[in-house]
Amino acid sequence: MSVIIRIPTPLRPYVGGSREVSGEAGNVENVLAALVQQHPDLKHHLFNDQGKLRSFVNVYLGDEDVRYLKGVETPVPDGATISIVPSVAGGSALSNAEIRRYSRHLIMPEVGMSGQKKLKAASVLLVGAGGLGSPAAMYLAAAGVGRIGLVDFDVVDESNLQRQIMHGVSTLGKPKLDSAKARIQDINPYVQVDTYAEPLTSENALRIFADYDVIADGTDNFPTRYLVNDACVLLGKPNVYGSIFRFEGQASVFWAERGPCYRCLYPEPPPPGLVPSCAEGGVLGVLPGVIGVIQATEAVKLIIGQGEPLIGRLLLYDALDMKFRELKLRKDPHCPICGEHPTIHQLIDYEAFCGVPAGAELQPQDEIPVTELRDRMSQGLHRAVLLDVREPHEWEIVHLPGAKLIPRGELPNHLNELSQTDEILVYCRSGVRSAQAVQFLREMGFKKAKNVRGGILAWAREVDPASPVY
């Protein structure tokens, strides 16, 4: 065991670029002395000529400022983390070029030189480089946020371009992170962009989040949303939340130290399949622009310390009615993570918490591949019904010959149109909704229901390349 010393961005060049270095337990003075012995260039940044810690450098043990403990004599036990936190304005003077670039900020008293320096010293992590992450990242970069982190492991698909404005035709098929980084640096080369090409998990979330001032949640699924929330609560960081569906959006700032968290609002996720994702339900292309820019606005306000943040308020936006509404959010004293007696003290298994993704419980023999479906269809579907569980407007785009349409949500009211003795081959767009439908049908006694694996998308890929893909 040893201790971890967190190095702030401006001092990292003096420790070979590391974010953290390890040291031996002792007291704050010994730990720092050993640190500068190992990295001599760091010495005059931390200590003055008299060997005293410089007054604009603060040292934290865990989350406590050691000045309020025993100063440099504060013991640093094995396993502890100490953080070196220099005052923000100290290390981030603006160059003349930056002053020209940010002049419209600098002439506003609410931002001014001090606010712009705060932005430069600040770091924002965007979880997701898609619909919400695109406008948020581009405006945060333009505003001069010094460091932007992006977590994403997707590649740019044609169907993204309807709303994910950070990407374009020239980056189709490339990782979204590459596309995003190039776009951000074209907007503002003064921004440092750090990318994490991995799915956010309980294993990596705390490590990635620890290094950022503000986290912006642009995820599109419940497991990641709860993971982002819990990691922010555990680390005491603000979570700038945004979500979108069809014509409606939501935004808030969850910050457990100053207000409610996402779990105070929704203690539990909806059962899998009840709330469709944007990939299933669609989203108006301009909607993430509105919500992502609200997230960027909140992040900037938190950084410069101006205005009233969306803490304790849930902003609802309806694009069809063109109306904003605001609901009051209260901190739940029984919240399992930020309440008075929390039961969650570390990150959990969020896939399990949110329910195993639908379809996963089907056995291989409960599914048929599209190639087998093609062969069966060519011989005439004997004693089998081909059931489409998508929505009528999807049916209009493309459907399989001979299929019967009953949207998934309406299945319970139409069971009398199906026979338990027939084989029922169920398909949807990607195979997710149909897997849920199969599960439901089996529970209802239709034991011969089977899922067409991969749905219409697999059909277009493997059987009929001329079939439209949406």
Q: Which residues are catalytic?
A: 278, 428
Is the CB of residue 399 less than 8 Å from the CB of residue 427?
Answer: no
Q: Which among 269, 274, 242 is positioned nearest to 350, based on CA atoms?
A: 269
Which of 264/303 has CB closer to Zn ion?
264
Q: Which two tokens stand for residue 337?
A: 């993570």
What's the min distance (Å) between Cβ of 416 and Zn ion? 45
Which of 104/345 has CB closer to Zn ion?
345
The 10 Å Cβ neighbour count of residue 204 is 15
Which of 61/261 has CB closer to Zn ion?
261
Residues in the chain: 470
CA 30/CA 92 separation, integer angstroms: 28
Which of 265/425 has CB closer to Zn ion?
265
Task: Name the residues that contact Zn ion, by CB under 5 A.
Answer: 261, 263-264, 335, 338
Dihedral in degrees, nearest 10, Cα atoms 114, 119, 120, 122:
120
Hey, CA dihedral for 57, 60, 63, 69, is it positive or negative? negative
Q: Which two tokens stand for residue 1?
A: 């065991």
Helices (H), 210-353: 222-235, 262-265, 278-281, 287-304, 350-353
Which of 338/456 has CB closer to Zn ion?
338
Which of 343/378 has CB closer to Zn ion?
343
Dihedral in degrees, nearest 10, Cα atoms 429, 435, 436, 440:
130
| DSSP 8-class letter at 166 | T
What's the min distance (Å) between Cβ of 230 and Zn ion? 9
* Contact partners, residue 234, CB within 8 Å, separation at least 6: 206, 337, 345, 346, 347
End-to-end CA distance of the chain: 53
What's the min distance (Å) between Cβ of 126 and Zn ion? 22
What's the min distance (Å) between Cβ of 237 and Zn ion? 14
Please provide residue 29's backbone torsions phi and psi, each rounded to the nearest 5 degrees: -65, -50
384-388/404-405 β-pairing: parallel
Is the CB of residue 245 less than 8 Å from the CB of residue 254?
Answer: no
What's the min distance (Å) between Cβ of 224 and Zn ion? 17
Q: Which among 165, 116, 167 is positioned nearest to 145, based on CA atoms?
A: 116
Q: Closest-CB residue for Zn ion?
A: 335
Which of 4/348 has CB closer to Zn ion?
348
The 10 Å Cβ neighbour count of residue 56 is 12
What's the min distance (Å) between Cβ of 251 and Zn ion? 17
